[in-house]
Structure 1
């Protein structure tokens, strides 16, 4: 499997101004996913900005976004594992590292 150029997140899950941004990363042990939780707001100059601070009424919505992001990352990992199993060059050790 050849590396593909990364141009943006693999997924963005939204709930109003709240979002979970899922990134695919390449590390020493293969591909892994990271998720950023954020709230978008407009600053005094009219520019859109993200913050990672949430008020009490947003916490349950953030928790739901995190749950949905977990489900999506699990599906992305399963797809990667399926692709690697189709490659007979991969070893069991490689499969183990990809599952992490």
Structure 2
């Protein structure tokens, strides 16, 4: 096994406000990259150990919504960068011979 297989995948971006956090993950597919987000709230359990929950109490809903908005804006910027890279890649001349040229 290589080190990359042993290393857990990390989010490409995070936004935090107190105990709330939104992590952004980049996934690859045959249709290109896409993004997902995960909202969590940190808390200490009865033993004093830190845990994460996906449950957001009503007092934190506005803060969570603001974090979601920041995550959305970050994802839009990343998608714009992906699109620009794709367009730039399409402009580059193809240096690989086509299959039909190889058979000549």
TM-score, with length taken from structure 1? 0.77
TM-score, with length taken from structure 2? 0.75
- The Cα offsets for residues 67-91 of structure 1, whole Å up to 9 and x where unpaired, read as 110000000000111111110279x
Question: Which residue in the other structure is 2:59 paired with?
Answer: 57
Larger RCO, structure (CA 8 Å, separation 6 or more): 1
CA distance in 2, matches of 1:42, 1:59: 19
Larger radius of gyration: 2
Question: Which residue in the other structure is 1:23 paired with?
Answer: 25
Aligned residues: 86
SS at match of 2:85: helix
What is the root-mean-square deviation of aligned Cα atoms in Å?
1.9
- 1:39-58 pair list within 5 angstroms: 39-58=41-60
Give 1:42 deviation, angstroms: 1.8
